[in-house]
């Protein structure tokens, strides 16, 4: 009798566990629904136009994200709630990967970075986004500075090599992004990617409303560029610290720059420059 009761209890436990796991799996595998955009978003690094109820969440890096699209562009909101997870994004940029074959595998993506441009190139970019500028506005831009920093993106292959470099002199729509710290929210990254931007490399990557695909996010890492940049920053801080030190006894206790110390320092830098990557299923919206 006891054995029958035990077997029934065990069966029920396993059944409940199976149902729970199945439910969780379905919830986890459900694609993120992109929202339809009736009026194109302004890419300003703010989240005023976004519906916070549609945000996805990646626990490992404490980041939230959402998607929206119209017939021409894909918009992405990505929020870093903790700045330490930015890692070395300033040097590596932020890459959005696309896979139309349902795999968590890099094929083509858009790498977003800051770029330095001339005043004339900035004017060209502004007129593409905002329409014609008045002559007085153009002159003011040229007088304020000969160069500016803008945010844009290059099309890259799975190795991160540039396949199509975004040119400000072209008339076609280009990827764009803005980054802005917002009090009480986090560091917001807002992206715009023309749906037709990837068709230059493959007909399989012509994105359309209603389509389902895999999208990956990738930033940080200890690349050679990052290693050199962080090492220089570390060296500059060490020089500044030594210059501030006036107590000779304290100076005697400082690290002597030996080989072992150099490797310890590089290990610390590597820890600061972790690579983060994750994928999600996305279904682009269709006009209702």
CA distance 213 to 34: 11
Please indicate, yes or no, whether residues 231 and 157 belong to a single structural domain of this protein. Answer: no
Please indicate, yes or no, whether residues 10 and 65 belong to a single structural domain of this protein. Answer: no
* Domain membership flag for residue 274: no
* Domain membership flag for residue 175: yes
End-to-end CA distance of the chain: give it in Å, rounded: 61
Please indicate, yes or no, whether residues 19 and 37 belong to a single structural domain of this protein. Answer: no
How distant is the alpha carbon of residue 237 from its chain centre? 28
Q: What is the pLDDT along the chain (288 residues), one digit of tens a residue?
A: 555 554 454 444 444 444 443 333 333 457 899 999 999 998 988 888 998 778 999 999 999 999 999 999 999 999 999 999 999 898 899 999 999 999 999 999 999 988 778 889 888 878 877 788 999 999 999 999 888 887 778 899 999 898 877 655 555 678 889 999 999 999 999 999 999 888 878 887 889 999 999 999 999 988 777 777 667 776 766 666 665 654 444 434 444 444 444 444 556 666 777 899 999 999 999 987
What is the residue-wise DSSP string for 136-195? Answer: HHHHHHHHH-SEEEEEEEEEEETTS-EEE---TT-SS---EEEEEEETTTEEEEEEEEET
Distant-in-sequence, close-in-space partners of 149: CB < 8 Å, separation ≥ 6: 114, 115, 116, 117
Please indicate, yes or no, whether residues 233 and 211 belong to a single structural domain of this protein. Answer: no
CA distance 60 to 276: 9
CA distance 79 to 99: 22
Domain count along the chain: 3
Distant-in-sequence, close-in-space partners of 283: CB < 8 Å, separation ≥ 6: 31, 32, 33, 34, 210, 211, 212
Q: What is the pLDDT of residues 231-257, one digit of tens each?
A: 777 676 666 666 565 444 443 444 444
Please indicate, yes or no, whether residues 179 and 259 belong to a single structural domain of this protein. Answer: no
* Domain membership flag for residue 123: yes
Please indicate, yes or no, whether residues 110 and 96 belong to a single structural domain of this protein. Answer: yes
Please indicate, yes or no, whether residues 49 and 181 belong to a single structural domain of this protein. Answer: yes
| Main-chain dihedrals φ then ψ at residue 165, nearest 5 degrees | -85, 130
Q: What is the pLDDT of residues 43-95, one digit of tens each?
A: 988 888 998 778 999 999 999 999 999 999 999 999 999 999 999 898 899 99
SS3 label, residue 277: strand
For residue 83, the enclosing domain spans 33-220+279-283
* Domain membership flag for residue 273: no
Partners of 193 in the beta sheet? 74
Please indicate, yes or no, whether residues 60 and 182 belong to a single structural domain of this protein. Answer: yes
CA distance 56 to 70: 20
Query: What kind and span of H or E run contains 217?
Result: strand 212-220
Beta-carbon-side half-sphere exposure of residue 159 (alpha carbons within 13 Å): 3
CA distance 205 to 158: 14
Please indicate, yes or no, whether residues 74 and 160 belong to a single structural domain of this protein. Answer: yes
User: Is residue 216 within 8 Å of 277, Cβ to Cβ?
Assistant: yes
Please indicate, yes or no, whether residues 105 and 145 belong to a single structural domain of this protein. Answer: yes
Residue with tokens 């459900």: 30
Please indicate, yes or no, whether residues 128 and 1 belong to a single structural domain of this protein. Answer: no
Please indicate, yes or no, whether residues 7 and 71 belong to a single structural domain of this protein. Answer: no
């Amino acid at each position: 009798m006891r054995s029958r009761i035990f077997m029934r209890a065990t069966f029920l436990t396993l059944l409940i566990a199976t149902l729970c796991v199945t439910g969780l799996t379905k919830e986890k595998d459900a694609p993120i629904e992109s929202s339809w955009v009736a009026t194109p978003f302004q890419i300003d690094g703010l989240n005023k136009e976004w519906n916070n109820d549609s945000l996805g969440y990646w626990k490992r890096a404490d980041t939230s994200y959402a998607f929206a699209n119209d017939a021409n562009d894909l918009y992405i909101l990505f929020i870093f709630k903790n700045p330490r997870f930015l890692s070395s994004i300033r040097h590596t940029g932020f890459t959005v990967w696309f896979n139309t074959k349902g795999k968590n595998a890099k094929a083509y993506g858009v790498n977003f970075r800051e770029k330095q441009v001339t005043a004339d190139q900035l004017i060209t970019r502004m007129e593409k986004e905002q329409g014609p500028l008045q002559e007085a506005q153009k002159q003011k831009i040229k007088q304020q500075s000969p160069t500016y920093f803008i945010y844009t993106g290059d099309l890259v292959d799975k190795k991160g090599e540039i396949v199509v470099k975004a040119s400000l002199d072209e008339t076609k729509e280009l990827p764009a992004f803005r980054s802005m710290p917002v009090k009480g929210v986090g560091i917001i990254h807002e992206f715009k990617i023309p749906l037709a931007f990837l068709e230059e490399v493959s007909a399989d990557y012509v994105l359309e409303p209603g389509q389902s695909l895999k999208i990956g996010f990738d930033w940080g890492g200890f690349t050679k560029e990052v290693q050199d940049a962080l090492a220089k920053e570390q060296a500059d801080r060490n020089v500044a610290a030594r210059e501030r030190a006036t107590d000779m006894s304290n100076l005697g206790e400082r690290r002597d720059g030996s080989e072992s110390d150099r490797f310890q320092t590089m290990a610390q830098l590597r820890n600061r420059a972790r690579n983060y990557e994750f994928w999600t299923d996305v279904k682009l919206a269709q006009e209702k």
